[in-house]
């Protein structure tokens, strides 16, 4: 494919405030669940690349954490830094907003994008807007903010208008040969994805405190033929959180492990044996050295 005339390839940053559907959009575009999603803000904690190779164009999507303007914890500072870094060297920016409400937090994310960089607005979750006529004034309001390359109303969850979004992105990408192989989906390895699938279940199943006090590490990852034997550790910051994660008779943890394993099976194929332990590490989210060691 190298040197194919007219081939386009480039990096596309997906940015926006928490919970607007950035990771859902990346997954829908790539066609696999490579970035975890949940209703809770700040589900994504890392920059994750999702790759889509089509005839004549390779899109390298860069999913980012939701940009936080309210809480200044050391973890949040690192998440925001990941957003700024992702914006530093991309060809195109997709600014995701929720079609039902665009607010100050959204506009602050847009302000991070250097002038002159092509920006496409993904007006997401239009499936939740009953009165489609309400979209027109919203689009007009958005158009006044900057000279956007395009504004595309879509639904990441339903997969509507993704073709229109891709066409607009492709137009803005530079010419060049593909940088990834045609079957590559992400820059992250299976170890990383395994830990993320466990964290996804914690975000989806537990209340408003425990997910934010939690991180997941992979202690062992052995592969023999098509079978994988994975040992994961969930780190919490207080002993009480351990009990919440385990649940009555270990039920909660069992459900977390069962669902996480299903996600692993879907992406990895073969057989997966997963064991999950919970350990307490006081203040892991407040200590910069620990955060660095945990991969943030």
Mask of contacts with Mg ion, 11-30, x by CB under 5 A? -----------xx-------
Q: Are strands 92-98 and 57-63 parallel, antiparallel or unpaired?
A: unpaired
What are the beta bridge partners of residue 58? 9, 53
Which of Mg ion, ligand GTP, none does 118 bind, CB closer than 5 to 8 A by kind? none
Mask of contacts with Mg ion, 88-107, x by CB under 5 A? --------------------
How many Cα atoms occupy the beta-carbon half-sphere of 180 within 13 Å? 21
- How far apart are CB 109 and ligand GTP at their closest, in Å? 10
114 — alpha (psi -120 to 50), left (phi > 0) or beta? beta
Segment interacting with ligand GTP, rule: CB under 6 A, options 14-22, 81-89, 212-220, 246-254: 14-22
Per DSSP, 29 falls in state: H
Segment interacting with ligand GTP, rule: CB under 6 A, options 11-19, 54-62, 131-139, 188-196: 11-19
29's tokens: 């575009």
Mask of contacts with ligand GTP, 97-126, x by CB under 6 A? ---------------------------xx-
Nearest residue to ligand GTP by CB is: 66
176's tokens: 């060049």
Interface size with Mg ion, residues (CB under 5 A): 4
Cα distance between residue 165 and residue 170, in whole Å? 9
Which of ligand GTP, Mg ion, none does 201 bind, CB closer than 5 to 8 A by kind? none
**Is there a contact between 232 and 194 (Cβ–Cβ < 8 Å)?**
yes
234's tokens: 């969930």
- How far apart are CB 38 and ligand GTP at their closest, in Å? 6
Interface residue with Mg ion, options 44, 155, 237, 263 (CB under 5 A)? 44
- How far apart are CB 157 and Mg ion at their closest, in Å? 13
273's tokens: 């044996």
| DSSP assignments along 203-243, one per residue | HHHS-SSGGGGEEEEEEEEEEETTEEEEEEEEEESSHHHHH
Nearer to Mg ion, 23 or 214 (CB): 23
């Amino acid at each position: 494919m190298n040197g194919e005339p007219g081939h386009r390839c480039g990096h596309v940053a997906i940015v926006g405030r928490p919970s607007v559907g950035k990771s859902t959009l990346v997954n829908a575009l790539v066609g696999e669940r490579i970035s975890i999603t949940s209703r809770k803000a700040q589900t994504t904690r890392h920059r994750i690349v999702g790759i889509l190779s089509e005839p004549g164009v390779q899109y390298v999507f860069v999913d980012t954490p939701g940009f936080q303007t309210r809480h200044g914890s050391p973890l949040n500072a690192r998440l925001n830094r990941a957003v700024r870094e992702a914006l530093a060297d991309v060809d195109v920016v997709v600014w995701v907003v929720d079609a039902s409400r665009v607010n100050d937090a959204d506009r602050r994310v847009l302000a991070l994008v250097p002038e002159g960089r092509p920006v496409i607005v993904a007006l997401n979750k239009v499936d939740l807007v009953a009165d489609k006529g309400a979209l027109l004034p919203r689009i007009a309001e958005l158009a006044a903010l900057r000279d956007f390359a395009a504004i595309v109303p879509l639904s990441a969850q339903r997969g509507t208008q993704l073709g229109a979004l891709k066409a607009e992105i492709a137009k803005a990408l530079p010419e060049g040969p593909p940088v990834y192989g045609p079957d590559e989906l992400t820059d992250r390895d299976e170890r990383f994805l395994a830990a993320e699938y466990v964290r996804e279940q914690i975000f989806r199943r537990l209340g408003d405190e425990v997910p934010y006090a939690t991180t997941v590490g992979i202690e062992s990852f052995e592969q023999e033929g098509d079978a994988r034997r994975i040992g994961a550790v969930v780190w919490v910051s207080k002993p009480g959180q351990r009990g919440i994660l385990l649940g009555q008779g270990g039920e909660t943890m069992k459900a977390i492990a069962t669902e996480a394993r299903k996600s692993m099976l879907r992406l990895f194929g073969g057989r997966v044996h997963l064991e999950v332990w919970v350990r307490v590490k006081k203040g892991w989210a407040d200590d910069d050295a620990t955060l660095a060691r945990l991969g943030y």
